[in-house]
Every structure is written in C-alpha cells, then in structure tokens.
Structure 1
Amino acid sequence: MTASNISNNRKGVEAAMAGNHIEAEKFFRQAIKENETAIEGCMNLIRLLHMQGRHAETISAFKELQINVQIEKIHPQILYMVTQSALDIGDQKIAIQNLSVLSPQHPGNSEIQCMLSEAFIKSGRLVDSQKLLERVIQLNPEDPSIATQLAITESELGNYNKAEKIHKQLVGKFENAFLSHFNYGLFLANIGETKRALRCFERCKQIVPNAPEAQEQIEKLIQNESNGLTEIYQDIEKKYWVEAEKKLRKNKEVIEPIQFWAAVNELPKENQQKLGSIQAFDAEIQIRIVELYSVSEKEKFLAELVDNVKNAESLIWNRAGKPTRHGLQSHEILNGSQSTAIQDLCRRLKEASLDYIKNKPLLQKIRNQKKGNKELSGWSVVLKKGGHQKRHIHPESIVSGVVYIQLPKESANEEKKEGNLVFPSNNMKMVTPKEGMAVIFPSYLAHETVPINSNEERICIAFNWT
C-alpha cells in the first residue's frame, strides 16, 4: 500500500470522525482509485455508505471489494453491514451469500441465523430454512427466536399442525413474553382464526400496555367492523343501493382505498357515478390483455417458468387464507428470484404495469395515497381437476394481474368456459386464457375463475404491483 494511499485513508477516517462525510467519501474513493488493492479504503467506504443509508451504493462498493478479497477473509462487521443493506433493498442473493459465511462462524447468534432463515424464505428456499433452523435449534434449544422462526417456516411449508404446536409450546413456556403471543397471533390470523388471534394480541397488550404493534393487528382484524364495510356489503347483498352509497361516502376516509373502490364496484352504475367515474369500473376499459412473448420466445420461456413453478418449495395444497381451491399456491416466487426466466418475466411485467397505469387517474391517485413504490411481487397457482379461484380482490396492491404459462386444452378453447378468468361485477367480463398472455387490471376489481374439469394442470403466475 502506497504512502499516499495510507494518507488518503487516514484523511478519510479523520473527516468521517469530524462528521464531514462528503470529504471522507472523496478521500476513500481516491484511495481506491490510486491503488486497486486498497482494501482498507474500500472497507471504510462501505462503512460510510452503510451509515448514511446508501444501501445500493454499499452493495456496489462491496462487489468491488470482492474482486480483490475472498469473502471468507472479509471482516465479519463488513459482511454484516452489507447484509443489512442487501436486506433493505431486497437483494436476497447478497444477503444469503454473506449470511452463509457468518452463520457457521457464529452458531450461537440467533439474530444471524434468523436473518438467514428469512432470506431463505423470501427466496422461496423453505427447505433450506427448515434444515438450518432444525440444526441450530439443537445448539440453542432454549432460544425462543429460533423456535419462532422454525414455526414460521413450517407454516410457509403448509405444515400448520407443526407450526401451531411450536407456537403453543412457546406461549406455554414464555407466558409473559410479548413476542410469543404476538407471533402466535400472526399465525392464527393467517389461517383465518380471527377470534383466537384477537385473544393473542389482547394478551400482548396486557404484557406491554398500549403496545402499538399489537394494537395495529387488532385494528386490522376488526377493520371491516369499525369502518362499516360489513354493513355496506350487507346492504349490497340486499340491494339497498342508496344506503350502501351513503355509508360508503360517510366512511370513505377510514376505508382503505382499494377496499373502498371494490365496494363501489358492486353498486349499479347510477350509484357508482355519484362516487366516482364510471370508467373506473368499466371492465372493457380497465382490463388489459398483453401478449408478453413472441411466438418464437414462448417455447423457451414458458417451459422454464413451468420448471420454476414446479420446483417451488412453497407450493402447497389449498394454502391457508388464500382463494385457491383444489389446487396448489406458492409463496413469493418473483421477488429475489435468481432464475433468468423469472427475472425476464419481472422486467416484462414492470414495463407492462407502468404502461398500463399511465392513463388510469384513479389508480395514480390510489398509488399516491398508498405511497406505492413500484414493487412487483407474485406467486404461482397450479389448479387440478375441479380447481378454481374463489372471488377476491387484492387490497394490498394497486395493479394486479395473471400470466398463463400452461393450460389444459379445454381452458384455451374460447367456446368453453373452463378455467376462464371472470370479473363478475357490473357488465361482467370473461377472459379466455392463452399461454404467454398476461391480464392486467385494477386491484379493486373482484375476480374469480371457472372451475376446470380436466386432468391436465392449469398453471399461472399471479402478480401485484404497488
């Protein structure tokens, strides 16, 4: 290392300690520029960038450091900082790479083990998460955080009985532990056990009075009661259109935007018009069909996508809390995937979603209200004979859609309705799926599918764009 390089590093450290981050960054970058093996300068730059919350730049600096240093020889503190930055921007690949080095170095550190487990889950590697935690729990049998993470993993794998058994053991063993009851409540809410979940969150508030996390979950579970949605849908079922319209107008500020417009979508046109633009509910205007692939691309990309779906470890039968019936539904399959076919699909879907929302003023308004961040997420659905999707909306997003990657012959036949995507509200629209086709629509439009009657599988990837 040259004298000037040492000087630049020292100057950078002194500037950083004095709070002059701009000067510090300049000196560290100069140190790297003057000597490509200036490892110290690169590590100091990583510390500085991470401290400032510049996570993407932290990752970039780390990749530059890796050119000259094997990951096993990089200081654990640097690996940990980079991991935090990677998790912040959703780079599961870097996070898993670093945590896989840190995990065996610190077998007793439950935070590192849980971080690695979470990264595995977000990458769809549920079995890896399960194996990791089963190994670690042998070393830390009394650690509640490891046991909780194992319960979460078992739940994602569809092993609900195993997951609940672990949660019950934790609640019994740590009767006054906030997190034991809180995580059990989350699990129960996920499988639709609302009353039992509420009891867990109320217990959390007894342990930690006015705990905001518990209160938030309680409010979320009883939201439909407090914001009048239950009464509104009761009026809609009875066709009390004027009453429903009045209650929607009265409660507009306390109902989530997507849920509000989903309810408006159930009203006749004359009542809709008093609450918003009729065009916002016109299926012919709002639903867009996009051919994602050319004829020459379909064979290659769709086959690879089918392989990705089939190999998804989180693909489980009738996933709890989801609308899939007589079929399999996966956990997240798009976000963080290292598959080139999935990454290519994400690029196409993001472009299509951005183009779709351009001329949709209501969706733009909702995105501003929800502070949408243009993130894409998705999951796979494999329907068997009799399989279908129950009527539902996507309240957590703004734009939703589905990409068809493998269809039974009956589903692709426009003269038959099997497997069709249906938008059942006013001026009902039915879409016949085709392989390689994407259907994009507002998340507030209720939709369902016609059951299939084939022994062939119907495979698709549904997605949300926020």
Structure 2
Amino acid sequence: MGEEPLTGAKARLAVLLEQDDIAAARRLIEAHAAAWPNLPEELLRLAHHAFAQGLAEEAVECLRVGVRHCPRDFNLWLYLAETLLATGRNSEAVSALRKALRLSGNRSPEDGRLAQALERAGLFPEAVLIRRRLVKRNPRSIQLWIDLARALIRAEGFKEAHTVLKQVLRLDPSNLQAQYYMGVLMRETARPEEAVKWFEACAQSSPRHVEIWYNLGNALAESGRMTEAEAAYEEALRRNFDYVPAHDSLARLRWQMGAKKRFLASYEARHRRPPPPPEAFYLSYAQKLTLTKRFDEGRTLLEEALRRYPASGYLAAARARLEDEAGAHDEAAEWHARAVAQLPHDVELALFQAWNLLVRGEAEKAQDLLLGLRKNAPNHQFLYALLALAWRELDDPRAATLLDYQRFVKRYTIPLPDGYQSLSAFLEELAVCLDRLHQTRRHPLDQTLRGGSQTLDFLFRRPDPVIQALRQTISRCVARYIAALPKDPDHPLCARKSGKFRFAGSWSVRLQNAGYHVSHIHPAGWISSAFYVRVPPTIRRNDPERQGWLEFGEPEPPLPRRVPAAHAECPEEGVLVLFPSYLWHGTRPFHSTQTRMTVAFDVIPIRSM
C-alpha cells in the first residue's frame, strides 16, 4: 500500500478517536495492518483508550486483532489477559497469560505486572517463577522477598515461604508485612495459636490496619477463643465499618455459636448509619437474609440497593437467588435475565440461570445454555451437575455416561497407618482429636449439614500426628482411585486424570441425633469424599429406612428429583467413599444418642506448568 493512502488512514484514525468510535478505528487499523508502522503499540494505545471509556469489550477486540497479527508480542498478550480478568473472563485470561509467560523471556520492566496478573488468575505456581526472577535481579529489595513469600503461600509452598519470611525478619525484625504474612502462613498451615501471636504483635505495632484485626479474629476463632474472636472482628469494624469480610465473619461466628437473634447486628447497625453503604455490603447482607429465609427484608434491602446501584448485575443476581429461594421462580427468571445481560461473561450467574430453567421445566434451554458455557468453564462441577439433570429430564443417554455410579463411586477400607496395632485403635485416637476441634454449637450458615458442627480450618494441614497419618493413608486410596480411571478426553472426570493431585480442602463434620446433609455438589472440586470415623449402631446395612446413608443422584427440590435415590452407600467405620465432585449427594437423617463423625475433602489434579 502506498504512503498516501496510509497517510489518509492515519488522518481518518485521528477523527475517529476524537469521536470515540473505537470499533471503526479498530477496523481501520486492521484493514491497513500489513503496512501500519508500530502496529502493536497503536493497538495497545487504542485498547487503553477503549478501556478508559468503559468499553472493555471493544478493548478486548482491539487486543485480539493485535495478537492475531503480532502473535509473538508479549505486551499485547499481557494486556489482553489483564483486560479479560477485569471483565470476569478468567478461563480466556488464563490462556492469554500462558502465552505471555512463554514469551516473557527476561523482561524486567513488565515482570511485576505479569506476576500480579498470574496471581489474579489463580496461577500461583507460575507467579512464583516470576517472583523468583524478580528477586534474583534485585536481591537487596525486602519488598520483593515479601512479594515472593506471599506468592509461595498462595502456591502452597509453605516451607520455602517460612524460610523467606524468617530471612526478612532477620534483616528487619520489625517489618510489619513480614510479621503479617508469617501470621497468614501459620493460619494456612493450621497453626492458629501461633498465628494469633503474630497478628497480636502486628496489632500492637500498627493498630489502624483493619486486615490485621480481621485476621486476628479468624485465628482466634480457629483456636477456639470465640469471645476474643468476636471482639477482634468488632475492632476491625470500628476501624472501618464498611469492611465487609468482618461483617461476614462476625455474623457466621455468632450464628455457629448459637447467637441467632443478634448474628446480623453489625449489618443492621451499619445499614442505619450514613452515608449509604457500598454495593458489596448490600450483597453480603442480602445473602444472609436469603439464607435465613427472611425474604421480605431481603427484597426491601435489594430494592434500596438497586436504586443506589441500578446498573449492578450482581445485585440483580442476588435478587434472582432470593426469589428462587422463596419459590417465586418466574419472577426470579426476569432477574436472572437482567443479571446475565449486564454481566454476559460471568459463568456463575449463567449457571444459576440454568438452575432456574431446570426448576421451571425448561430442560432443553438449560442444556443449550450449559453446553455453551463449557468452553469457558470446562472444569466447573456445578455445570456438569446441572447438565446431568437436564440430560436425564430429556432422556438423553449422555446422562448415564456422565453419572455411572457403579464405575465412579468407589469405597475403600483404608490401609492401617504405620504405628497402630489396629484400625479401631487408630479411629479411636482420631475421634478424640477431632472432637477437640469441633468448637462450634451449630452448623455453618451456608453449608449443607443440619444438626451438627463442622471444623473451621484446613484439617489436613494440621500438624497433629494422627491427622497426618490419616492424610497419608487416604492419599494411597485416592491414588488408586485416579489410577483406575479410564482414559477418556471427553469425560469431565476422566479428562483431568493426572499422576499428581492435591487436597483443595478438608474438614470434619459431627452430626447429632436427627442430623443430615442436604443434597449438594462441590463446585470447585474434582474428586470428593466421605470417610467414616464414628458410625452409630443404628446406621446399618439391613435398615430399610437407610438411616444415615450417603445417597447419590437426587438434588434437593425444587430441582427435578426422583425417589428412591439412584445409588446409596451405607457408612462403616474406617471406610472411605470417593466420587466425582459433580455428583449430587446428601445423607438421610439418623436417630441415635451417639454422634456420626466424618472427615471429608476435595481433590484436584496438579498439572505441569
């Protein structure tokens, strides 16, 4: 193309930018891409301009043009990933970040941005690689060492994080960030008593930081010091009455300790006080009202919130969930449509819209929506739980392939851990340890158990020898389960088969007389579980009522439910049941003066970087 047409195109571009016609400007540049000088820089500039104007989608399109014509440009891939993250398109962002990471080389100017984007996308091991690179280039920077320790904690590199933080504290014993992250590390490794000491030291030297008081409250609660935890959360709110995590944790603590009448007191007090609260406050408060079936109060609150934040898709989604929980599914459908229209790339909102479609008997529409979501959420377990229901309602044979209880629900008697004479001796010692960890009086507000309690921290990270023995023997069973999975790249369970795995969460549940679990799934898992530590004698194989049994395949109403359950397992002490995280599962109530105690966990695969 000659110089004169390109000169005219540049003049036309200046006019389009002055008119904020980003789409036309993008098309103009792409039409002259082969001859346009400094094409990556021009498209980056245009994308920045679009984003600044609130046109995030147009910014993404500009950057896609860029990577299509300049596929080896690191900056285009990185800014594309950052823009996708800002619009909630995490799956696409991860793909762009992996491209940027491969192209990053030794780019010191942008490594900080790259590390931050990797952390936002949840790619913590990859972020650690970049943080190490930054430290290697500037080993005298204490801040870079602290940033590395923070990334290591998120990547579960706890031992190295401890070494790094100790090194920082040797150089600067009063460094507040290092003390704070040492407390975070102690919490993450289930050492709450040690975490309390670190956070108390931080609060003494810098009492104005709300996050310190909040995490002190968390560590105190995990240590069983509930009254002190409540006081720490209240102190956090005195520092910042709009700090929503403290409202949330304080309400949950009070609920679990039986203070039902005042568990929302901090929300009520903030709501009464000017100025108007932020959107996040309304969302958190409305969630608590919905969970406790205070629907009229929730509607009033959300109507007020939507007057203040009329463009909020998240508030519309909160109203949709409230109406669904209240049984007003047709009205909920309108709110789901509004939420998805405002946040078209939010997978979670679309999944709840599919839930609503299934409840209203529109299985085919639900199926179409769910199949369209698979590309951006290929591992989301809620998607497959709903898809299985849609296929079952449509008599689609793919439901049987996805569920296949005989193939994918397996039970194991755990191998006897080293150092124990018998399985019963091990289970007795384990039960005593777990009883000590059950600190609360009632079930968590948003969990599935009813009539019991749940431990508070990451159980398998606790240093107790009996818990570590359990973790090791359970790991052997999990490895057997994974090894037996068939190779099937089209199956959501089998496609993720990997030689390595990690525990994504672990906890214990203790149910009292008449206790049970409502049917649920584990949306962020891969393989889920139930290990039976203590089973009352009323739970037995020859019981026609299946008291205390684990049942599969049937969700809670109003989702389509069939009776009896498609598959059930009778609990036995020392037995571990493993199954796909997307399978609906719950338990039947039992009647006994003895408690039913389990350990549960989720497993996810570890992929090589």
Q: What's the TM-score once normalised by structure 2's chain length?
A: 0.52
Give the distance between the partners of 1:89 and 1:186, measured in 2 at CA: 26
Contact 2:252 2:444 in 1 (8 A): no
- 1:285 corresponds to 2:432: no
2:552 aligned partner: 423
In the alignment, structure 1 residue 375 sits paired with structure 2 residue 494: no
Answering whether residue 571 of structure 2 is matched by residue 448 of structure 1, we say no
Aligned: 1:439 with 2:577: yes
Q: Do structure 1's residue 267 and structure 2's residue 390 form an aligned pair?
A: yes
Q: 1:169 is matched with which residue?
A: 238
2:507 and 2:496 map into 1 onto residues whose CA distance is 22
The yes-or-no answer on 1:332 pairing with 2:398 is: no
Q: In the TM superposition, what whole-angstrom CA distance separates every residue of 1:279-320 from its partner, at most 9, and x where no partner exists?
A: 211323321112223596412432343243233377663123
Instruction: Please state whether the residue corresponding to 1:375 is helix, strand or coil.
Output: strand
Q: Distance in 1 between matches of 2:146 and 2:373?
A: 46
SS at match of 1:267: helix
The one-letter code of the counterpart of 1:263 is L
Q: Work out which of the residue numbers 108, 132, 135 in structure 2 matches 1:51.
A: 132
Segment of structure 1 superposing worse, 232-241 or 186-195: 186-195
Number of the residue aligned with 2:207? 141
1:355–1:297 CA distance, 2 compared to 1 (3 A) = farther
Give per-residue Cα distances to partners, 1:75-100, cap 9 Å, x unaligned. Answer: x9999799668636535466568767
In the other structure, the counterpart of 1:207 is none
1:312 to 426, 432, 437: 437
TM-score by length of 1: 0.65
Between 1:121-130 and 1:187-196, the stretch displaced more is 187-196
- In structure 2, what is the Cα distance between the partners aligned to 1:322 and 1:104? 42
Q: Give the stretch that moved more between structures: 128-137 or 115-124.
A: 128-137
Larger relative contact order (Cα-Cα within 8 Å, sequence gap ≥ 6)? 1
2:354 to 219, 232, 245: 232
Provide the rounded CA distance (Å) in 2 between the counterparts of 1:82 and 1:238: 49
Aligned-pair distance for 1:454? 1.2
CA separation of 1:286/1:93 partners in 2, compared to 1, >3 Å: closer, same or farther? same
Q: In structure 2, how many angstroms separate the alpha carbons of the residues matched to 1:458 and 1:197?
A: 42
| Superposed displacement of residue 438, structure 1 | 0.9
d(CA) in 2 for partners of 1:351 and 1:223? 41
Letter paired with 2:582: Y
| Aligned CA distance change for structure 1 residues 306 and 221 (closer, same or farther; 3 Å) | farther
Q: 1:391 corresponds to which residue?
A: 519
| Structure 2 residue ranges without an equivalent (≥5) | 1-105, 107-128, 137-141, 256-263, 272-276, 285-311, 322-335, 341-348, 555-561, 605-609
Aligned to 1:28: none
Once residues 186 and 254 of structure 1 are traced to their aligned partners in structure 2, the CA distance between those partners, rounded to angstroms, is 30
Q: Match for residue 191 of structure 2?
A: 125
**d(CA) in 2 for partners of 1:317, 1:104:** 43
Question: Deviations along 1:355-407, whole A, 9 cap, x unmatched?
Answer: 25445652346638xx9972113111111222222221100111111111111
SS at match of 2:492: helix
* Aligned counterpart, 1:404: 532
Identical-pair percentage: 18
Q: How does 1:204-243 map to 2 (within 5 A)?
A: 225=336, 226=340, 227-243=349-365
Select between 124-133 and 395-404 the one with higher mean Cα deviation. 124-133
Change in Cα spacing, 1:307 to 1:107, as seen in structure 2 (3 Å) is: farther
The structural deviation recorded for 1:429 is: 1.4
Does the C-alpha gap of structure 1 residues 253 and 115 become closer, same or farther in structure 2, counting only changes over 3 Å? same
The answer to whether the 8 Å contact 2:552/2:583 transfers is yes
1:277 Cα offset (Å): 5.2
- 1: CA distance between counterparts of 2:574 and 2:135? 38
Following TM superposition, by how much is the alpha carbon of 1:349 offset from its aligned partner in structure 2, in angstroms? 4.1
Do residues 244 (structure 1) and 366 (structure 2) align? yes
- 2:205 is aligned with what amino acid? L
Distance 1:281 1:90, change over 3 A: same
1:206 alignment partner in structure 2: none
Q: Is contact 2:522–2:581 with CA below 8 Å preserved after alignment?
A: yes
Q: Measured at CA, do residues 303 and 97 of structure 1 come closer, stay the same or move farther in structure 2, by a change above 3 Å?
A: farther
Q: Whole-Å Cα distance in 2 between the matches of residues 217 and 106 of structure 1? A: 43
Say if 1:363 and 1:248 are closer, same or farther in 2 by CA, change over 3 A.
closer
Unpaired stretches in structure 1, ≥5 consecutive residues: 1-18, 20-47, 56-75, 204-214
